[in-house]
Amino acid sequence: MPNGKPPLFVVVSFDGAGDLALWARWRAVAKQVNARMTFFLSGPYLYPEDHRTDYKPPFHKPGASEIGWGDTANVLARTTVLREAIAEGQEIGTHANGHFCGASGIGKWTTAQWTAELNAFDHMVRTGPTLAAGKTVAPPFDPSTVKGMRTPCLEGNRAAYRLAMAKRGMLYDASAPGYIAWPKKVNGLWNFPLESVTLAGTSKKTLTMDYNLWYAQTQARKAPIAQAPALRAQVLATYRAALAQSRAGGNPPLFLGNHFNRWNNSVYSDALTDFVKQTCTQPDVRCVSNMELASWLAKNGVPSGHNRPS
């Protein structure tokens, strides 16, 4: 470890991973700065709507989904994009399927129900492109290579779903809130949290997730476009302060979560783009996927003396 410090890992990840234009955008950004990122894919984005009742989620009708389903054109286009992104070194994780949040959502699911949900994800990946095309199409990836999950809305009984993940051979959970600190294993998995930070120029605490930043800024309401430059600058300043906090505390990883979205006049996608371009080329920084970080930790362990929140 140069200068006695581990690398400063910046881990950028996305939920949903369906929008084709945003796939093009983030692949281009990653190539520009030699970054690898993690894309948490929602199963229905690879599964055609006319076969939706194959999916039987707990406590919901067959075919229920809060995020819709695919059609022939976008399922096949996503299949191609996923293959290309994986070839470029990007990681695919799972964001589960129906995106059920709140009182009737995933919070009450058992380990057995989570196992069924993960199996349904595998089935959508393996068979969705063929069903959409009406002829045999190879799946975009082998679902057994998926080693991490971010749960919808960051919800769910963690012990229950992590047991299902561990039994499946998965390695990390990216769902829980946490702090800027070296990760630990919890329930047999690496816990890669969305970290608590202070919104720049305020005393507000928020998480390093675009929706949470949006809520902290404008209560998740769209602001007038004239405010977009200032809001974007505030998010960028928040990321920079978090990076400085990591450097001051022994270089624990910085986890940044986004959605494939254009929320609030694209403030959060634009601020993250700026940060990635400015940061990932810095000599002590490595912009990596969650799995690259997990592999580094498996090889090197958690650096001693640097495992407390900073």
Average pLDDT over residues 120-148: 98
Q: Hey, what are 33's tokens?
A: 């700065």
What would the pLDDT profile of 186-207 be if each residue is shown by its tens digit? 999 999 999 999 999 999 999 9
Alpha helix segments (H runs only) across the chain: 20-33, 72-87, 111-133, 158-168, 210-218, 228-248, 263-279, 290-300
Q: Say whether 107 sits in a helix, a strand or coil.
A: helix
Percent of the chain, pLDDT > 70?
97
Residue 25 to residue 259: CA distance in whole angstroms? 13
For tokens 């809060």, the residue is: 66
Q: Above 50 in pLDDT, residue 310?
A: no
What would the pLDDT profile of 262-282 be if each residue is shown by its tens digit? 999 999 999 999 999 999 999
Residue type, position 185, single letter: K
Output the CA torsion sign for 87, 93, 96, 99.
Answer: negative
Q: Are 162 and 173 in contact (CB under 8 A)?
A: yes
CA distances (Å), origin 194, targets 169, 188, 255, 281: 22, 19, 6, 23
Cβ-proximal residues to 203 (8 Å cutoff; 6+ apart), any chain: none
Q: Above 80 in pLDDT, residue 255?
A: yes
Would you place residue 304 in the very low, low, confident or very high pLDDT band (cuts 50, 70, 90)?
confident
Query: Which among 29, 19, 28 has a CA at the least distance from the CA of 274?
Result: 29
Rg, Å, the chain Cα set: 19
Strands 189-191 and 172-173: parallel
Residue 289 to residue 183: CA distance in whole angstroms? 14
Q: Hey, what are 129's tokens?
A: 């492109």
Average pLDDT over residues 124-140: 98
Phi then psi for 12, rounded to 5 degrees? Answer: -100, 130
Cβ-proximal residues to 102 (8 Å cutoff; 6+ apart), any chain: 153
Ordered by start, the domain boundaries in the chain are: 2-195+253-262+283-300
Output the CA torsion sign for 295, 114, 127, 154.
Answer: negative
Average pLDDT over residues 171-180: 98
Average pLDDT over residues 168-181: 98
Residue 176 DSSP one-character state: S
Residue 142 to residue 304: CA distance in whole angstroms? 36
What would the pLDDT profile of 32-81 be if each residue is shown by its tens digit? 999 999 999 999 999 999 999 999 999 999 999 999 999 999 999 999 99
Q: Hey, what are 218's tokens?
A: 């404008």
Model pLDDT, residue 5: 86
CATH, domain range 2-195+253-262+283-300: 3.20.20.370
